[in-house]
Amino acid sequence: MSELRLSYPACAIAGKTRLTAEDVGILREHVFEAGLTSSQDAMILLAINSSCSEKCPEWHHYFLETMTDFIVHHLDPQGAMDERNADWLIAMISTRGVINSPIELDLLFHVIDISSRIPDSLSVFALEQVRLAVIDEVGAWAGMRGSRQHGLQASDVMRIARVMSAIARSRGNHLTARERRMLDKIGVLTDLPAHDATVA
């Protein structure tokens, strides 16, 4: 995104230290009045999110809803995620496989929540963010979960449950081998025999 060239007024907003409700209104009504219509638009919004260190409360909702609408409902297959779109999203919001921004972590899980189908590359990536926080204390979720105690906490289980719900919508009640391995790494399946590794 360092080579992305922003036009006015997006460039002026990206150059600010703090995003205000007025800035959100300008983006909504003048820059992206039709929503995001291309990957370039999405990259501009990601660039603004990354460049402004302070953000008004309105930004969180606008960013999540606008990005998710583009990723899930504008890109093909509409309403679902495929491998190509999952790979693009992962590349946009992570560095060496780790999401460090809380709002971008929220974006990942919001996409997972509303997609009718996700590939296992996306479910495994989301579960990996939980594993990184629980085991290695790395990434955005490590700072958001509110506990440095060893083992799974209620907030971790809630994140995992959101992924499992998406898996159930996507492929019924069976985990892929990659999903099972990631759940094993987190410790979710430690005490379950192999034939019980299904999604309710």
Mean pLDDT, the chain cut into blocks of 10 residues (200 residues total): 66 87 94 94 94 94 98 96 98 97 98 98 98 94 83 92 97 92 82 46
Residue partners of 53: CB distance under 8 A and separation at least 6 = 17, 18
Both 93 and 187 in one domain: the answer is: yes
Output the CA–CA distances (angstroms, integers) from residue 37 to 9, 33, 103, 119, 165, in the order listed.
17, 10, 21, 23, 29
CA distance 158 to 171: 20
This prediction has a pTM of: 0.89
Q: Does residue 119 form part of some domain?
A: yes
Note down the domain range covering 137.
86-200
Task: Copy the structure tokens of residue 16.
Answer: 């600010």
Contact (CB, 8 A) for 100 and 139: yes
Tokens of 63: 């960013």
Nearest to 85 by CA among 129, 42, 48: 42
What is the structure's pLDDT at 16? 86
Please provide residue 122's backbone torsions phi and psi, each rounded to the nearest 5 degrees.
Answer: -80, -40
55: β partners = 19
Cis peptide before 9 (omega within 30 of 0): yes
The burial of 42, by beta-carbon neighbours within 10 Å (0-12 exposed, 13-18 middle, 19 or more buried), is given as: buried
The pLDDT of residue 104: 98
According to the model, what pLDDT value does residue 80 have?
A: 97
Is 79 inside a domain boundary? no
Measure CA 171 to chain center.
Answer: 20
Instruction: Quote the pLDDT of residue 198.
Output: 53
Q: Is there a domain that residue 163 lies in?
A: yes
Q: Which of 74, 106, 135 is the last residue of a domain?
A: 74
pLDDT at position 7 = 74
Shared domain for 67 and 90, answered yes or no, is no
Contact between 189 and 183 under an 8 Å Cβ cutoff? The reply is yes
Q: Which of 70, 89, 88 is nearest to 79 (CA)?
A: 70
Q: What is the pLDDT of residue 155?
A: 93
Burial 155-165 (b: 16+ CB within 10 A, else e): ebeebbeebbe
In a domain? residue 2 = yes
Same domain (yes/no): 190, 105: yes
